[in-house]
Chains A and B, each alone.
Chain A
Amino acid sequence: MMQRRNFLKILGGAIAWSLLAPLETLAAIWNKAAFETSSLDIVKKELGILSAKVSPQIKVIAPDRAENGAVVQVEITSHIANTEAILIMVAKNPTPLIANFILSNGMQPYLITRIKMAETDDIQVFIKADGQYFTASKRVEVFENGCG
Protein backbone atom coordinates (compact mmCIF):
# COMPACT_ATOMS: atom_id res chain seq x y z
CA MET A 1 0.00 0.00 0.00
CA MET A 2 1.17 3.48 -0.73
CA GLN A 3 2.78 5.22 2.20
CA ARG A 4 0.54 8.21 2.68
CA ARG A 5 2.56 10.00 5.28
CA ASN A 6 4.85 11.58 2.77
CA PHE A 7 2.59 12.47 -0.04
CA LEU A 8 4.25 15.81 -0.37
CA LYS A 9 7.38 14.05 -1.54
CA ILE A 10 5.37 12.18 -4.10
CA LEU A 11 4.05 15.49 -5.35
CA GLY A 12 7.59 16.54 -6.06
CA GLY A 13 9.07 17.73 -2.80
CA ALA A 14 8.78 20.88 -0.80
CA ILE A 15 9.88 23.14 -3.60
CA ALA A 16 7.29 21.90 -6.03
CA TRP A 17 4.18 21.48 -3.87
CA SER A 18 3.47 22.17 -7.33
CA LEU A 19 0.72 23.82 -9.23
CA LEU A 20 1.01 21.04 -11.75
CA ALA A 21 0.89 17.82 -9.78
CA PRO A 22 -0.55 15.28 -12.18
CA LEU A 23 -4.02 14.04 -11.39
CA GLU A 24 -2.98 10.39 -11.55
CA THR A 25 -0.52 11.05 -8.76
CA LEU A 26 -3.19 12.63 -6.61
CA ALA A 27 -5.52 9.73 -7.36
CA ALA A 28 -2.88 7.36 -6.07
CA ILE A 29 -2.67 9.24 -2.78
CA TRP A 30 -6.34 9.96 -2.12
CA ASN A 31 -8.05 6.92 -0.61
CA LYS A 32 -10.82 6.58 -3.19
CA ALA A 33 -12.23 3.32 -1.81
CA ALA A 34 -12.62 4.80 1.68
CA PHE A 35 -13.96 8.20 0.60
CA GLU A 36 -16.46 7.03 -2.02
CA THR A 37 -18.18 4.20 -0.18
CA SER A 38 -21.56 4.69 1.50
CA SER A 39 -20.70 2.08 4.13
CA LEU A 40 -19.02 3.00 7.40
CA ASP A 41 -17.84 -0.61 7.72
CA ILE A 42 -16.03 -0.38 4.40
CA VAL A 43 -14.51 2.95 5.40
CA LYS A 44 -13.05 1.35 8.52
CA LYS A 45 -11.87 -1.70 6.60
CA GLU A 46 -10.16 0.42 3.94
CA LEU A 47 -8.43 2.49 6.62
CA GLY A 48 -7.38 -0.54 8.62
CA ILE A 49 -9.48 0.39 11.67
CA LEU A 50 -10.19 -3.11 12.94
CA SER A 51 -11.12 -1.99 16.42
CA ALA A 52 -11.29 1.32 18.25
CA LYS A 53 -11.51 1.84 21.97
CA VAL A 54 -13.91 4.50 23.23
CA SER A 55 -11.77 7.08 24.99
CA PRO A 56 -12.71 9.88 27.41
CA GLN A 57 -9.41 11.51 26.44
CA ILE A 58 -10.94 12.68 23.18
CA LYS A 59 -13.11 15.78 23.37
CA VAL A 60 -15.58 16.48 20.56
CA ILE A 61 -17.43 19.79 20.71
CA ALA A 62 -20.28 20.45 18.28
CA PRO A 63 -23.72 22.02 18.59
CA ASP A 64 -26.56 19.89 20.01
CA ARG A 65 -28.77 21.10 17.19
CA ALA A 66 -28.00 22.30 13.67
CA GLU A 67 -30.71 24.08 11.69
CA ASN A 68 -28.85 23.37 8.48
CA GLY A 69 -26.55 20.39 8.11
CA ALA A 70 -24.53 22.18 5.43
CA VAL A 71 -22.29 23.81 8.04
CA VAL A 72 -21.70 22.08 11.36
CA GLN A 73 -18.66 23.29 13.25
CA VAL A 74 -16.72 20.69 15.19
CA GLU A 75 -13.81 21.13 17.58
CA ILE A 76 -11.67 18.10 18.40
CA THR A 77 -9.02 17.71 21.09
CA SER A 78 -7.10 14.53 21.78
CA HIS A 79 -5.26 14.05 25.06
CA ILE A 80 -3.98 10.66 23.93
CA ALA A 81 -0.19 10.52 23.83
CA ASN A 82 1.40 10.30 20.40
CA THR A 83 -1.76 11.21 18.51
CA GLU A 84 -0.75 11.08 14.87
CA ALA A 85 -4.05 11.34 13.00
CA ILE A 86 -7.60 12.64 13.51
CA LEU A 87 -10.39 11.18 11.38
CA ILE A 88 -13.99 12.40 11.13
CA MET A 89 -16.92 10.22 10.04
CA VAL A 90 -20.71 10.53 9.95
CA ALA A 91 -22.37 7.16 9.33
CA LYS A 92 -25.62 8.41 7.74
CA ASN A 93 -23.94 10.81 5.31
CA PRO A 94 -24.01 9.61 1.68
CA THR A 95 -20.25 9.11 2.04
CA PRO A 96 -19.43 8.65 5.74
CA LEU A 97 -15.71 9.42 5.66
CA ILE A 98 -15.25 13.18 5.86
CA ALA A 99 -11.59 13.76 6.61
CA ASN A 100 -8.31 12.23 7.65
CA PHE A 101 -5.87 14.74 9.17
CA ILE A 102 -2.30 13.46 9.60
CA LEU A 103 -0.28 15.54 12.06
CA SER A 104 3.50 15.84 12.26
CA ASN A 105 6.42 18.01 13.40
CA GLY A 106 4.78 19.82 16.30
CA MET A 107 1.20 20.00 15.04
CA GLN A 108 -0.96 19.59 18.14
CA PRO A 109 -3.81 17.05 18.35
CA TYR A 110 -6.45 19.74 18.11
CA LEU A 111 -8.53 21.17 15.29
CA ILE A 112 -11.63 23.07 14.38
CA THR A 113 -13.38 22.52 11.06
CA ARG A 114 -16.87 22.63 9.55
CA ILE A 115 -18.59 19.58 8.11
CA LYS A 116 -21.80 18.60 6.32
CA MET A 117 -24.40 16.33 7.90
CA ALA A 118 -27.32 14.72 6.09
CA GLU A 119 -29.48 14.02 9.12
CA THR A 120 -29.45 13.64 12.90
CA ASP A 121 -26.47 11.46 13.69
CA ASP A 122 -23.25 11.12 15.67
CA ILE A 123 -20.08 12.84 14.58
CA GLN A 124 -17.62 10.01 15.06
CA VAL A 125 -14.00 10.91 15.68
CA PHE A 126 -11.20 8.39 15.44
CA ILE A 127 -7.74 9.06 16.79
CA LYS A 128 -4.71 7.12 15.63
CA ALA A 129 -1.97 6.90 18.26
CA ASP A 130 0.96 4.48 18.28
CA GLY A 131 -0.74 2.53 15.52
CA GLN A 132 -3.91 2.01 17.58
CA TYR A 133 -7.32 3.61 17.17
CA PHE A 134 -9.46 5.36 19.78
CA THR A 135 -12.87 6.91 19.31
CA ALA A 136 -15.40 9.39 20.69
CA SER A 137 -18.58 10.89 19.29
CA LYS A 138 -21.02 13.75 19.58
CA ARG A 139 -24.71 13.58 18.69
CA VAL A 140 -26.04 16.44 16.55
CA GLU A 141 -29.72 16.91 15.80
CA VAL A 142 -29.95 18.06 12.18
CA PHE A 143 -33.09 19.75 10.84
CA GLU A 144 -32.14 20.28 7.20
CA ASN A 145 -30.08 17.91 5.06
CA GLY A 146 -26.73 19.52 4.35
CA CYS A 147 -25.43 16.90 1.95
CA GLY A 148 -27.40 17.85 -1.18
Chain B
Amino acid sequence: MANDIKLRAQLNDDITEIKVLMSHPMETGRRKNGAGEIVPAHFIQLVTMLLNDKTVLEAEWGTGIAKDPYLTFHLKGAKIGDKIVIVWHDNQGNTGNSQIFVV
Protein backbone atom coordinates (compact mmCIF):
# COMPACT_ATOMS: atom_id res chain seq x y z
CA MET B 1 0.00 0.00 0.00
CA ALA B 2 1.27 3.45 -0.81
CA ASN B 3 1.36 5.43 2.40
CA ASP B 4 1.76 8.70 0.55
CA ILE B 5 1.29 12.03 2.25
CA LYS B 6 1.39 15.31 0.39
CA LEU B 7 2.43 18.04 2.78
CA ARG B 8 2.85 21.80 2.39
CA ALA B 9 3.73 24.44 4.97
CA GLN B 10 3.77 28.07 3.92
CA LEU B 11 4.40 31.07 6.17
CA ASN B 12 2.23 34.16 5.54
CA ASP B 13 2.77 36.97 8.06
CA ASP B 14 2.83 35.09 11.39
CA ILE B 15 0.64 32.14 10.38
CA THR B 16 1.92 29.01 8.70
CA GLU B 17 -0.72 27.35 6.57
CA ILE B 18 -0.28 23.59 6.61
CA LYS B 19 -2.05 21.49 4.01
CA VAL B 20 -2.09 17.70 4.14
CA LEU B 21 -3.41 15.12 1.70
CA MET B 22 -3.05 11.51 2.82
CA SER B 23 -3.52 8.51 0.59
CA HIS B 24 -5.75 6.08 2.51
CA PRO B 25 -8.92 4.06 1.70
CA MET B 26 -10.74 4.94 4.98
CA GLU B 27 -12.94 1.85 4.68
CA THR B 28 -15.84 1.85 7.12
CA GLY B 29 -16.20 -1.94 7.35
CA ARG B 30 -19.74 -1.69 5.96
CA ARG B 31 -19.09 -1.37 2.23
CA LYS B 32 -19.51 -4.41 -0.03
CA ASN B 33 -17.18 -5.04 -2.95
CA GLY B 34 -18.21 -6.19 -6.44
CA ALA B 35 -18.47 -9.81 -5.24
CA GLY B 36 -20.86 -8.81 -2.47
CA GLU B 37 -18.30 -9.33 0.27
CA ILE B 38 -17.88 -6.87 3.13
CA VAL B 39 -14.64 -4.92 2.80
CA PRO B 40 -12.96 -4.96 6.22
CA ALA B 41 -12.69 -1.70 8.13
CA HIS B 42 -9.44 0.06 7.27
CA PHE B 43 -9.10 3.59 8.53
CA ILE B 44 -6.69 6.00 10.15
CA GLN B 45 -7.25 6.24 13.90
CA LEU B 46 -4.49 8.57 15.07
CA VAL B 47 -2.76 11.53 13.49
CA THR B 48 0.05 13.50 15.11
CA MET B 49 1.67 16.69 13.84
CA LEU B 50 4.93 18.07 15.17
CA LEU B 51 6.71 21.40 14.81
CA ASN B 52 10.43 20.77 15.35
CA ASP B 53 9.56 17.69 17.44
CA LYS B 54 7.02 19.57 19.57
CA THR B 55 3.45 18.29 19.30
CA VAL B 56 1.01 20.76 17.75
CA LEU B 57 -1.85 18.41 16.84
CA GLU B 58 -3.13 15.07 18.08
CA ALA B 59 -6.21 13.75 16.33
CA GLU B 60 -8.35 10.67 16.84
CA TRP B 61 -10.50 9.68 13.90
CA GLY B 62 -13.39 7.30 13.30
CA THR B 63 -14.52 5.96 9.93
CA GLY B 64 -16.32 9.23 9.09
CA ILE B 65 -13.31 11.03 7.66
CA ALA B 66 -13.52 10.90 3.86
CA LYS B 67 -11.26 8.69 1.75
CA ASP B 68 -7.80 10.19 1.11
CA PRO B 69 -8.02 12.50 4.13
CA TYR B 70 -7.47 16.20 3.58
CA LEU B 71 -6.54 18.77 6.21
CA THR B 72 -5.73 22.46 6.42
CA PHE B 73 -4.40 23.93 9.66
CA HIS B 74 -3.02 27.28 10.73
CA LEU B 75 -0.01 27.31 13.01
CA LYS B 76 1.41 30.29 14.87
CA GLY B 77 5.04 30.51 15.93
CA ALA B 78 6.72 28.62 13.11
CA LYS B 79 9.59 30.16 11.14
CA ILE B 80 10.94 29.55 7.67
CA GLY B 81 13.07 26.42 7.78
CA ASP B 82 11.23 24.90 10.74
CA LYS B 83 10.37 21.24 10.37
CA ILE B 84 6.78 19.98 10.23
CA VAL B 85 6.26 16.24 10.68
CA ILE B 86 3.01 14.33 10.32
CA VAL B 87 2.43 10.71 11.31
CA TRP B 88 -0.65 8.50 11.08
CA HIS B 89 -1.54 5.06 12.44
CA ASP B 90 -4.47 3.00 11.18
CA ASN B 91 -6.55 0.18 12.66
CA GLN B 92 -4.62 -2.48 10.74
CA GLY B 93 -1.27 -1.51 12.22
CA ASN B 94 -0.05 0.46 9.21
CA THR B 95 1.57 3.81 9.56
CA GLY B 96 2.64 6.66 7.32
CA ASN B 97 4.69 9.76 7.87
CA SER B 98 6.04 12.76 6.06
CA GLN B 99 8.01 15.88 6.84
CA ILE B 100 8.57 19.24 5.24
CA PHE B 101 10.29 22.53 6.01
CA VAL B 102 8.30 25.74 6.32
CA VAL B 103 8.72 28.01 3.30
Residues of A within 8 A of B (CB): 4-8, 11, 14-15, 17-19, 21, 23, 26, 29-31, 35-36, 70-73, 75, 88, 90, 93-108, 110-116, 146-148
CB-defined A-B contacts under 8 Å, sample of 9:
A23-B93, A99-B62, A105-B77, A111-B72, A112-B71, A112-B72, A113-B69, A113-B70, A116-B66
Cα distance A104–B54 when bound, in Å? Answer: 9
Mark contacts of B76-100 with chain A using CB atoms, 8 A cut-off: 1 yes-contact digit, 0 otherwise.
Answer: 1110000001010100010101000
Q: Does B59 contact A (CB under 8 A)?
A: yes
Verify B62–A14 contact, CB threshold 8 A. Answer: no
Return B84 CB to nearest CB of chain A, in Å: 11
Given contacts A8-B50, A104-B58, could you give 9 more A-B pairs where the C-beta distance is less than 8 Å? A4-B60, A100-B61, A106-B76, A107-B76, A112-B72, A113-B70, A116-B64, A147-B30, A148-B28
Interface size class of B (residues with CB under 8 A): 35 or more
- What total of A-B pairs shows CB separation below 8 Å? 145
Verify B45–A104 contact, CB threshold 8 A. Answer: no
Cα distance A99–B31 when bound, in Å? Answer: 20
| Interfacial chain A residues near B42, Cβ < 8 Å | none
Verify A105–B51 contact, CB threshold 8 A. Answer: yes
Verify A99–B61 contact, CB threshold 8 A. Answer: yes
Verify A110–B73 contact, CB threshold 8 A. Answer: yes
